[in-house]
A = this chain, B = another copy of it.
């Protein structure tokens, strides 16, 4: 069994989530590789060393290029701010190393396109962190759809809403800059678009409406200085899938009451299913002939779940979705990947989001291939 040396760039929220996932995955699964937490990079060498100690990485770099060049590193995991995804991933691909990049793939469609083409040219495994897809109960939803248990799929209603920007006094951050992939559509909505594509395939055309409700926010918390905001606070769209299904899409970061409401309902000629990420271990399902919705709880009968618990109803958490994502990535490195979102698929998510923005700007239906 070969060793796989992990090189992780970034020590923020997602950096730690990756570290936890890499630590867990070998305890949870039998792997085709021995994992080695080879190197951790952060511009701040003191922070890099503290995190490396806590998380079990062998070596630190304050220059990320050195991490990429480190011969002990076979896989590059990127968890830095969005605008750095492009240079880091391109460098990793140039070095011929597989890349595991946090979402969004990039801060512009041009970057995303270049990254996807570079990945294709490099011929290495790439993955983007749309971790919600790796939920075992989402796998069940996908299987039900693919196996035709809902019949022909005819409609999709999806919404991803949170409330973390609902307070107009919440200050400006990078999330308020289009150049950093900010706005409710890019920040939250892209997760839902990725999910819609993951479950139902390509979207052909969109019509949309976006809106900036709070056009100014304090420069910093409590500051009298105001900064202008141009990114969307909420976005609504109509979706036409290539399969013929139709639907609606909404995304907002102003919606009081929601913390992680990535939710959807998919309906076919033989049944309907519904999901809400705020109850990530549950699927609601009604098949033809049944009287009403049934609540299904995730259990060890679903692929992936049993790695964490032999008992149903014990519930996975957000971080375990990340571990499942890392597991799929590692299996892909051994040639046994399944359904992970690679740079090509992630580019298609960005393209779809760009089509929605164009449709909103020009107030017309846009064919996704236009952008």
Contact = CB atoms under 8 A, between A and B. Distances in A.
Interface of A is mostly: mixed
Q: How many copies does the complex hold?
A: 4
A248 interface: yes
B16 A207 contact: no
Interface in A1-39: 13, 16-17, 19-20, 23-24, 26-28, 30
A319 B316 CA distance: 8
Interface string A60-73: 00000000000000
Given A155-B250, A238-B238, A312-B259, A296 B286 contact: no
Interface in A278-314: 278-280, 284, 286-288, 290-297, 299, 308-314
A275 B223 CA distance: 38
Given A155-B234, A157-B250, A236-B238, A257 B54 contact: no
Given A234-B154, A238-B208, A310-B13, A267 B286 contact: no
A295 to B, nearest CB: 4
Interface residues on A, range: 35 or more
A260 interface: yes
A56 interface: yes
Interface string A207-248: 111010100000000000000000001101110100000111
Contact of A314 (B159, B236, B255, B260): B260
Contacts of A236: 155, 238, 246-248
Contacts of A20: 24, 27-28
A286 B162 CA distance: 13
Contacts of A213: 152, 154, 269
A318 interface: yes
A132 B213 CA distance: 31
Contacts of A209: 207, 238, 240, 246
Given A252-B155, A313-B258, A292 B288 contact: no
A256 B271 contact: yes
Contacts of A154: 211, 213, 233-234, 254
Interface of A: 13, 16-17, 19-20, 23-24, 26-28, 30, 54-56, 152, 154-155, 157, 159, 161-162, 164, 166-168, 207-209, 211, 213, 233-234, 236-238, 240, 246-250, 252, 254-261, 267, 269-272, 277-280, 284, 286-288, 290-297, 299, 308-320, 363-365
Cβ-closest 3 pairs across A and B = A259-B313, A317-B317, A257-B286
